[in-house]
Amino acid sequence: MKLNKEALSALITANVTVFAYDYGTKTVKASWLKRRKQIINSVDDVDEYKNYHIITGDNNIVDIDLDCIEAIKLAPHFLPATNMKYGRQSNPTSHWLFKVIDLTNKTTRKWFSFEDPTIDKETLVELRAHDHYSMCAGKYPEEEYVQWTDYSSIKETTFDVLYKSVAMLAVASIILRNYPTGDRNVYIWQVAGTLWHHKVDEDDALKIIEVVCNAAGDEEVKGRLAKAKHVYKPDTPQKEIVGLPTLAKGLNWSDKQISNLKDALYAVTGRSALPTFTHDFVERIAYMMKQKKYYDLEDKEMYDGESVDVKYAKHFNGKYTPLKYWKMHPDSKVCVDFTYKPKDPNRFVHVDKKLMINVYEKNDLQPDPKVDTDVFWALLKHVIPHDECREHFLDWYSYPIQNPGVKIRHAIIMQSDEFQLGKGSLFDLHRDMLGNHNTRKIELAEALDKGKNYLLNYQTVLIDEAKSSGSWSEKAQLINTLKTIISEGSIGVRQLYKEYSEQDTITNYWINTNYKDAFPLPKNEVRYWVYFSPAKRNQKMLEQFHNERLNDNLAGGVLADLMNRDLSKFNPLAVAPYTDYRNQMSGMADRPLNDFIREQFEQGVHPFDRDMLTTVELFEYLKVEKRLRVTREREVANALELLGAKCRKQIPIATVADRATLWVLRDHETYMKMPAAELGKKYVPFYNDSKAPRKKAVATPMSEDEPKSVGGAEDGIHF
């Protein structure tokens, strides 16, 4: 086959540098100096028994070498148009020539490859520029000749446009090579997810998929495109579960093959200029504006910049610090704060247009329907023998497992007279299923903490053994505190070293106690579902339960059961179902003080056999003499008010107080109308400074002849 002198003439006319070399060879071993001595300036210099090569880069000429059948087939759909194409006889369009108007001397050679055990050559497509050459005329060692298909003109383009098109061609070639004969919907779903994860624009992704589907002879191109468009919808919840890891696993790809596709994807989006590890680095490190530190998602700690540079320096070339590359990367994350969003699978999320780190991590426990779960159901039935109550508990118990991040607008209170009955064991299994990092067990004191850290990053919180510590007022405070956070999706929080802020909360609350009077629930309270267990402790059952929980994957088996539970009738926004136990707790919750005072009053026990009492005396008397846990006079006043006693304030009573608060227990009509001074004289103190109880006294008028005493507790009183 003769040399195509017309093509060589067109190259010379287009200012392309061409040099001669040995006939029948492809590799040029001569130095660049010798090569340039063989440059031809006219077609008259052409020798039929020489091979001719283009010096790429000279005069901004670039050669795109298509090294695989997929790239040759797809190139017309991705590369810019040009009228200079040639190749060997078997692939006469494998070389495309362009004039890149903004080519720099730094650009030498770019290529994309894909390791394939069934194909000898890994390179998919190559961009040749400075310091490289391409054979354009003559005979190959394999006895094939160069064949030109078009040599009318070289088209101009820019480097960014050309390089992106070459990268898209490489991505499309890999996708086409691995196109399956079956399960094409799944394949395209995973491919689209991979493109989405690597920040490929939707238009580019759809073009790649459409071209590949047509090239593969797929008859359902429209359906595949619809699948891809669905992935790119912002509200598609499944997008995080597909992507390159899923795609690679299905195709049994090696790490090298995964890396090959990543290289091409980074080039498509303009992220290939930085060191390769930078792409992983920006997914591991985020800058936290409020804390003015870097957060390492690998070990979940905050660090100064120097610590980050030291840790990751080994992955970079030393030209710049790791954080310098991080700042140059378009995907580096600058976040405002942390948040907890179980419903959102993304690590970085926007809350009120602010970028935040989602610290939620799904538990890695997998459901295992083969595990025997009989002991769980036996313990549950033992602790909650009432069917209707057990069904509601199971719904509440299962809901956070099936619907992470959805708040239930009522809490549960589980009570048993027996200690260590199994209530806490049920919560332990709940933790095993949701993950210890998504649940919390706290005591009453922490529940009252103003920082409320337990609100922020947990799905379920157990307030355990609620009666074991804390005064009645603290428990009342807990109930008041929980009123808002149970039913609202946000709460005011003042964390250590942070300003007061309104924080979202999705936490659900479970309270265990051994006391029926643990909490002063208001009557008709609808935020709490209360259950009193009549069961007795079954040591053998508990031992079996924990043995299977710790050794036989009981949590995996129960998880499988609960994931299949029908929760269609459970409304997380509804009020708590009514139980008699709730009313019982409401009625008994005042026993520590209120019930004692009521019983003493009804029996006429001293000092409640009197018509009047002062809160200051009664407070000291109950605390010192009766050893009741009472911390404020207000608690005493509340108890007297519940008896129906009437309050008189600012009453001057000698030896008690100049402005005492007096409670009238009986004969309200008489004492409530009496002037304050007269009432103060009428009142008989019963508990003086010496803390010795007084005897019951009767007030008697003094004789006008008797001298009046000054001071003392006995003024005008005869015993």
CA 543 to chain centroid, in Å, comes to: 35
**Structure confidence at residue 488 (pLDDT):** 67
What is the DSSP-derived secondary structure letter of residue 139? B
Q: Tokens in use for 337?
A: 């704060």
Residues 581, 607, single domain; the answer is no
Mean pLDDT of 164-191: 95
The larger pLDDT score, comparing residue 557 to residue 450, is at 557
Give the range of the structural domain holding residue 253, as residue numbers without chain letter.
178-268
Q: What is the model's pLDDT at position 708?
A: 39
Give SS3 for 504: strand
Q: pLDDT tens digits, residue range 21-54?
A: 999 999 999 999 999 999 999 999 999 999 999 9
Instruction: Determine how β-strand 528-533 pairs with β-strand 411-416.
Output: parallel
pLDDT of amino acid 466: 54
Q: Does residue 637 have a pLDDT over 70?
A: yes
Does a structural domain hold residue 19?
A: yes
Percent above pLDDT 70 for the chain: 88
User: How many structural domains compose the chain?
Assistant: 4
17 inside domain: yes
432 and 549 Cβ atoms separated by less than 8 Å = yes
Q: What is the mean pLDDT of the segment spanning 687-691?
A: 56
Q: What is the mean pLDDT of residues 452-467?
A: 73
The verdict on pTM exceeding 0.85 is: no
Least confident window among 41-50, 53-62, 580-589 = 580-589
Stated as kind and residue range, the H or E segment containing 620 is helix 615-620
Residue 694 has pLDDT above 50, yes or no: no
- Quick count: other Cβ atoms within 10 Å of Cβ 10? 20
- pLDDT exceeds cutoff 80 at 619: yes
pLDDT digits (tens, 9 = 90+) for 196-206: 999 999 999 99
**Does some domain include residue 159?**
yes
Please give the full DSSP string across 416-474, using - where no structure is assigned.
Answer: ESSTTSSHHHHHHHHHHHH-GGGEEEE-HHHHT-TT-GGGTS-SEEEE-STTSS--HHH
Residue 468 in tokens = 């074991």
Residues 653 and 691 in one domain: yes
Whether 79 and 141 map to the same domain: the answer is: yes
pLDDT band at 122 (very low <50, low <70, confident <90, very high): very high
Q: Write down the pLDDT at residue 319.
A: 82
Residue 336 placed within a domain: no
Domain-located, residue 216 = yes
State residue 602's pLDDT score: 87
Lowest model confidence (mean pLDDT) among 169-173, 288-292, 442-446, 448-452: 448-452
Mean pLDDT, rounded, of the chain? 88
Last residue of a domain, one of 112, 146, 168: 168
Of 246-255, 289-298, 549-558, 706-715, the one with minimum mean pLDDT is 706-715
Q: Residue-wise over 62-96: b if at least 16 C-beta within 10 A, else e?
A: bbbbbbbebbbbbbebbbeebebbbbbeebbbbbb
The amino acid sitting at 469 is S
Residues 566, 537 share a domain: yes
Q: What is the CATH number of the domain that holds 559?
A: 3.40.50.300
Would you say residue 475 has pLDDT above 70?
no
Number of C-beta neighbours around residue 137 at 10 A: 24
> With bands split at pLDDT 50, 70 and 90, how would you rate the model's confidence at 709?
very low
Question: Do 598 and 571 reside in the same domain of the chain?
Answer: no
> Which range has the worst mean pLDDT, 52-56, 532-536, 708-712, 714-718?
714-718
The Cα 625–Cα 57 span in angstroms is: 102
* Long-range contacts of 337-341, Cβ-Cβ distance < 8 Å, separation of 24 or more: 337/288, 337/289, 337/290, 338/288, 339/504, 340/456, 340/457, 340/458, 340/504, 340/506, 341/405
In this structure, what DSSP letter does residue 708 have? P
Ramachandran category for residue 300: left, alpha or beta (phi over 0 → left; psi -120 to 50 → alpha): left
Nearest to 168 by CA among 293, 76, 56, 81: 76
Write phi, then psi, for 492 (nearest 5 degrees): -75, 130
When pLDDT is cut at 50, 70 and 90, the band that residue 69 belongs to is very high
Q: Give the range among 39-53, 336-350, 530-544 with minimum mean pLDDT.
A: 336-350
Q: What is the model's pLDDT at position 454?
A: 55
Please choose, from the candidates 527, 312, 495, 303, the residue with its C-alpha nearest in 3D space to the C-alpha of residue 407: 527
Q: Give, as one character, the DSSP assignment of residue 666.
A: S
82 CB contacts (<8 Å, ≥6 apart)? 96, 97, 98, 153, 154, 155
Of 587, 617, 646, the position where a domain reaches its end is 587
**Confidence label for 700 from pLDDT (cuts 50, 70 and 90):** very low
Q: Is residue 332 assigned to a domain?
A: no
- Which has the minimum average pLDDT: 30-44, 255-269, 334-348? 334-348
Tokens 């008259």, located at residue: 44
In a 3-state reduction of DSSP, which class is residue 531?
Answer: strand
pLDDT of residue 501: 53
Asked whether residue 153 falls in the same domain as residue 215, the answer is no
Q: What is the DSSP string of 43-97?
A: GGG--TTEEEEEEETGGGEEEEEE-SHHHHHHHHHHSPP-EEEEEETTSTTSEEE
- Do 462 and 544 reside in the same domain of the chain? yes
Sorting pLDDT into bands at 50, 70 and 90, what band is 716? very low
- The reply to whether 542 and 599 lie within a common domain is no
- Say whether pLDDT at 588 is over 80: no
Q: Supply 198's token pair.
A: 């690597």
Does residue 84 sit in the same domain as residue 131?
yes
Q: Is the pLDDT of residue 453 over 80?
A: no
Maximum mean pLDDT: which of 114-123, 172-181, 269-278, 493-502: 172-181
Look at residue 705 and give its three-state secondary structure. Answer: coil
pLDDT above 60 for 103: yes
Last residue of a domain, one of 567, 587, 607: 587
- Please report whether residue 312 resides in a domain: no
Other C-beta atoms within 10 Å of 469: how many?
10
How remote is the C-alpha of 679 from its chain's centroid? 66
Instruction: Give the list of residues 6+ apart from residue 488 with CB closer than 8 angstroms, or none.
Output: 505
The region of weakest confidence among 161-170, 302-311, 609-618, 700-709 is 700-709
Angle 251-171-196 from CA coordinates, rounded to 5°:
80
Pairing between strand 348-351 and 354-358?
A: antiparallel
Q: Coil, strand, or helix at residue 709? A: coil
pLDDT surpassing 70 at residue 190: yes
* Tokens 């094409």 belong to residue: 184
What does the pLDDT read at residue 590?
53
Residues 561 and 622 in one domain: no
Q: Are residues 422 and 539 in the same domain?
A: yes
Q: How far apart are CA 622 and CA 629, in angstroms?
A: 8
- Clarify whether residues 573 and 459 are in a common domain: yes
- Mean pLDDT (whole number) for 305-325: 92
Residue 344 placed within a domain: no
